[in-house]
Amino acid sequence: MANAIEASRLDVGYGGRQTAVKVLSGLDLTVAAGSFLSILGPSGCGKSTLLRVVADLLDPLGGTISVLGDTPHAVRSRRDVGFVFQDSTLLPWRTVRDNVRLPLGVGQGSLTRTIEDRSDELLELMGLAGFGERLPHQLSGGQRQRVAIARALLGQPKLLLMDEPFGALDEITRDRLNDELLALWRRTGTTILFVTHSIAEAAYLGERVIVLAANPGRLIKDLDMRPFKQDGNRCSREDAAVAAAMAELRGALGQAS
């Protein structure tokens, strides 16, 4: 399969077909399977809304979207998609391990694939070996986000949707998690859609960065980052070429706001 996402003339809004205000209008977007896409845009432009459509949490008003060659609904029921939000909602009364295991027990009825309990392996992968018996309040913010990522990875999703996952973290922790996420992406080949407010983070992580403008949400910039980086989407944060790309993104974002 060549494309993880194919959206054509996508219209999305809230409030039903008749009364809806369009949040996204006429969006065309193709995302190659296995790629890392960063999504930038001013607050309220529809970034989270776009992820919700991909995740089958919201139906589009018009246009077409295919995810992993199928409908968003089919992909969701096969559990091929994982989601990480900014405020990872860990259940405070469950241990770290049981939080990672949460998808094992959720909504079995409608799902077409059962998943294996890989919680210990994932906790180790996320640097949390030995933390399985702790409660969420006994972890730092960065560690809690790692638990949320481990949970999202439990079903070995082919597509990982990340909505400002590191937005609430300090810069050092964020940089470290960025590097861990890239390592994970290289190892697994999962397609990643990553929403962020940070131009630096978008540029560092993405093989490609898109910028959305608001009212209505639409694509105003589509930048291939690969020419600015080495093979395997590698760059240094201080790279002059990457700085040039960031300036270009900053310009687009300035026009979008």
Query: 79 vs 103, 158, 185, CA distance in Å?
Result: 9, 9, 18
**Residue 112 binding partner per list Mg ion, ligand ADP, none, with a CB distance cut-off of 5 to 8 Å that depends on partner kind:** none
For residues 138 and 215, which CB has a smaller minimum distance to Mg ion in the complex? 215
Q: Which stretch binds ligand ADP (CB under 6 A): 46-54, 74-82, 201-209, 230-238?
A: 46-54
**Residue 45 binding partner per list ligand ADP, Mg ion, none, with a CB distance cut-off of 5 to 8 Å that depends on partner kind:** ligand ADP
Query: Residue 112 CB, nearest distance to ligand ADP (Å)?
Result: 27
Would you count residue 165 as binding ligand ADP (CB under 6 A)?
A: no
For residues 38 and 119, which CB has a smaller minimum distance to Mg ion in the complex? 38
Tokens 């180790």 — which residue? Answer: 124
Would you count residue 38 as binding Mg ion (CB under 5 A)?
A: no
Query: Residue 164 CB, nearest distance to ligand ADP (Å)?
Result: 8
Residue 155's contacts (CB-CB under 8 Å, 6 or more residues apart) are 79, 80, 82, 103, 113, 115
For residues 188 and 198, which CB has a smaller minimum distance to ligand ADP in the complex? 198
Query: 151 vs 24, 26, 77, 165, CA distance in Å?
Result: 29, 33, 17, 13
- CA proximity to 103, closest of 73, 136, 80: 80
Interface with Mg ion (CB under 5 A), residue from 25, 35, 38, 48: 48
- CA proximity to 202, closest of 164, 156, 153, 147: 164
* Strands of the 191-195 sheet, one edge to the other: 81-84, 159-163, 191-195, 36-40, 208-213, 218-224
Residues 48-107 that bind ligand ADP (CB under 6 A): 48-49
Q: What are phi and psi of 244, to 5 degrees?
A: -65, -40
User: Which of the 8 DSSP states describes residue 216?
Assistant: T
For residues 48 and 145, which CB has a smaller minimum distance to Mg ion in the complex? 48
**Total residues at the site for ligand ADP (CB under 6 A)?**
10
Site string for ligand ADP, 1-40 (x = CB under 6 A): -------------x--------x-----------------
Alpha-carbon Rg for the chain, nearest whole angstrom, is 18
**Total residues at the site for Mg ion (CB under 5 A)?**
1
Give me the residues that bind ligand ADP (CB under 6 A), please: 14, 23, 41, 43-49
